[in-house]
Structure 1
């Protein structure tokens, strides 16, 4: 019954606890109360304020009458543009009109003058919330404060400034440049009346000024974010099946303290139960039940560790020939490589000479852009740390890797044992090894890898390796940022479908980030697009710099050791980053000299092993790709047939 109480004489300045928020109380109790008798008292100050405001309005009418119809239209348009850009303008309208006429309807100069006045008035700075300094076209011109605040087009008298400093400004009397958070112009965009971010005015008018984020120099941004940290490397571990890749890297991680003793004790007990105790270190990276039961790596395992000067993301690629596509996907993400070979007699020959994966893996990583390689000659303890065996393997691999395209200075050979942990993170203790080897241990070789340059200034390109549902709204894509920079809030295109999406969140190596750069293996949460429209092998790019899309291109290829010659119409499986698509060699353009690259023959009938040529390839559907000269990361392709890699190539021309 609160609405019927007599509260006319209540002093509202005093605290009154009788109107605590109670569930179900009437809205009228808060707002529809009887007025106090003070509200009926004549207020001379309020009357003087309204009179002052009214006098300004009378002057405006006189000024408008002197203008032609065209100038009046221009004037109204300029006033609207200023209000759209700056919100509520505290400057009297008559002076705003005078300012517009003085500057000949130039909105940019008007805004500069208003902002200049606001900056030069110290009393207004504490009260005025300015638009962020990233206006699309308006520039803020700094000026020094004087006795009289001089603004282009009009002067503010000193008396007014003194009065404004001494008194609290009231509505209609404040000459300061003011933004009212409750005004319609500052409401949320959902209301349809918020300040526009960008756009233009009607035809024939000045462009409408909006708020836009300033473009940040990618190199400056990269140095700011990553300049003080350790250099980041992605290292892929390759080699023939059963060469001991996972055991070697699992033991390395244990020696570095990346795996706690409790976890290793569990792996040891579990591996004993299934009769595979020697696989206990491999289980650090082989986490799935099928991988552990079969004793082979099937997917690319990932782990992060640090050296003295590097932060290294380890990519443990599968060695079995059935999982070469997974290995290609892992190698495409890598900066450097670690080739693991088995020193056991007969095992090295199996992986190297008799159609094993040692040769194929080396060719693949070199074709995918890896030019630095460490060779870990593993299991050397099985041959009693024989120097002769080490030298024999070294000589065979050195000549082969040179043919594959590796420079001798970029390849380092290290004797080690993953099972015993010799020569991994510290100098060896085996006397047989110490007699003839005094070189670096494996972790030192990894630490001395050169960090590649990050193409952060190029257009943004992100190759998608995986698509999955995240924990929140939207979904996630995992992959590598090949070039450029991406920030939270960016709008991106998913090619080749050219579907638009928004970057909702970012993480690099499971660590949340606001920005990610070229070379990062990132997870991006996308919004505004259906998950069904995104697939593995798609490329993300910015709206302004879309990636080319085509189903036909020209490439310069190098043919490997093949049993059947390549002819026109030859069916292949094309590998481009994580994309795997059926394709056809639709044209043999020319055959080249493998060493010099000179033209040898036009339109050859077929291509044999160890040859080089320019061919046209037609893919079964549209794909996103780049010319190698524009983007090396997206300009490489691999050609495979029947589970065997037959050629590697560089895209020289996209046929649209």
Structure 2
């Protein structure tokens, strides 16, 4: 039985506005100490240098918050030790595939849940390695906030942040995909004797870059941590934290997580769910999909259209935070168990929407873009990859319409010959297959795009018409 639509909207608004409810936010964990090492051909030799990275921090944080029990922790410790990778024990439960554990890197999006006093946090542990940037894009497109984990050891932060390093690209990607809040966890400070000067040095480098990338200083936080020992994640007590306490008395990482601003949820507009994963459901004919509700509300028993294509399916059940629920609203990362459709008729990046409010399909459209720090200019006829949520498709810059003043929006030059780094421009883009797109003015999350070429992100922008 489905809820009456009006009552359902009222209930969703009530929960969204309630002051005493634990607010839900999604946070993508990014960090790339390994990416630059791989570029220089040192992956095998320096594998141990990532043992206190983002997955380690997240694993230890789960333990501190009671989401990882002692039995599982000991099992992870034994498993990593028997594989000769004992320093990876905290990441063992997150890097779940055999290949991830063998290589010591995160390759896909790991979804976890954490609870603080005032926040229910869905954590998307995104790959830091340059080979898995599309997976990172998929994770960031589902997030409200970012937790950037940087390596404070000598040379490692510089390698990740220098031109070509993944830290810069990850931050630009996250901001371009609508992530407005960022917490920077400066990790491995225990390996530099909890040096305050090293901490301040890294903060000084990152602050202007974050501001230039579009992160407002009021939405940016820095925190010193030691992930393996759990120092300053939830607390900083004991002798091992004494050196940090000499100069730092600010919030812990959990304090900052608990203060994240939950964004306004767009529950009254038409339902939009870009599919990020497809897997076998319960029952012989069932198929399940997961993704983030960008807008609207979905409820069990509802028939939804899948675009592109002519197929539709019925929502048999809904899971949020590993619990079956009768409905889910915008902002939720949900799993929908579907009937009446075969898995072959579903695709990563396809969008679920109501039969009465279909999302438009685009093959040629105009976009306003910002060009990143590129070496080879963009010209008319450039072949690129367009990324939109979990979908990436071949595309072409059909026409360079104009360059634009970023602050005023006024046209600087019409029909430019090339677009160089730092340029804002309006371009016409052509796609090989049609994909679901909505103008940025209608739905910001469905209107954002990223443009890549040759394994490099070269621009980000907004779909206009």
Which band: TM-score by shorter chain? over 0.9
Cα pair 2:55 2:125 within 8 Å, conserved? yes
Number of the residue aligned with 1:328: 137
**Which residue is 1:221 aligned to?**
11
Structure 1: how far apart are the matches of 2:13 and 2:381? 49
Query: 1:234 maps to what in 2?
Result: 26
Matched residue of 1:233: which SS?
strand
| Offset, 1:499 | 1.9
- TM-superposed CA distance for 1:496, in Å, is 1.5
Match of 1:3 in 2: none
Paired residue secondary structure (1:305)? strand
Q: Which residue pairs with 1:576 in the alignment?
A: 388
The corresponding residue for 1:551 is: 363
Q: 2:196 aligns with which of 387, 392, 411?
A: 387
- Aligned twin of 1:443: 254
Say whether the 8 Å CA contact 2:21–2:118 is kept in structure 1.
no
Equivalent in the alignment of 2:316: 504
Write the deviation string for residues 213-255 of structure 1: whole angstroms up to 9, x where unpaired: 8431554121456646411111110111337000111111111
Correspondence for 1:631: 443
Preserved contact between residue 304 and residue 313 of structure 1 (Cα < 8 Å): yes
Q: Tell me whether 1:410 sits opposite 2:192 in the alignment.
A: no
Q: Tell me the SS of whatever aligns to 1:216.
A: helix
Task: Identify the structure with bigger relative contact order (alpha carbons < 8 Å, sequence gap 6+).
Answer: 2
Show structure 1 runs of 4+ deviating over 3 A: 212-215, 223-229
Query: CA separation in 2, counterparts of 1:288 and 1:213?
Result: 40
Contact 2:234 2:254 in 1 (8 A): yes
Tell me, yes or no, if structure 1 residue 294 matches structure 2 residue 103.
yes
Tell me the CA shift for residue 284 of structure 1.
2.1
In the TM superposition, 1:48-63 aligns within 5 A as: none
* Structure with more helix by fraction: 1
Task: State the shift of 1:506 in Å.
Answer: 1.1
Kindly state the Cα deviation for residue 531 of structure 1 after the two structures are TM-superposed. Answer: 2.4
* 1:541 partnered with 2:350: no
CA distance in 1, matches of 2:237, 2:127: 28
Q: CA deviation at 1:570?
A: 0.3
Query: What is the Cα-based RMSD across aligned positions, in Å?
Result: 1.6
Counterpart pick for 2:242 among 413, 428, 431: 431
For structure 1, the 5+ residue unaligned runs are 1-131, 133-211
Match in the other structure for 1:146: none
Q: Which has the higher strand share?
A: 2
Q: Please, which of 585, 591, 599 is the counterpart of residue 403 of structure 2?
A: 591
Number of equivalent positions: 443
Distance in 1 separating the partners of 2:407 and 2:154 = 35
Q: Matched residues in 2 for 1:290 and 1:271: separation? A: 13
Tell me if structure 2 keeps the 8 A contact 1:235–1:313. yes
Equivalent pair of 2:271/2:297 in contact (CA under 8 Å)? yes
Secondary structure (helix, strand or coil) at the match of 1:597 reads coil
The Cα of 1:277 is off from its aligned counterpart by 1.2
Q: Distance in 2 between matches of 1:617 and 1:299?
A: 29
Alignment partner for residue 277 of structure 1, among 76, 86, 89?
86
> Is 1:474 paired with 2:286?
yes
Aligned match of 1:564: 376
Match of 1:126 in 2: none
Q: Which structure would you say has the larger Rg?
A: 1
Asked if 1:528 is matched to 2:318, the reply is no
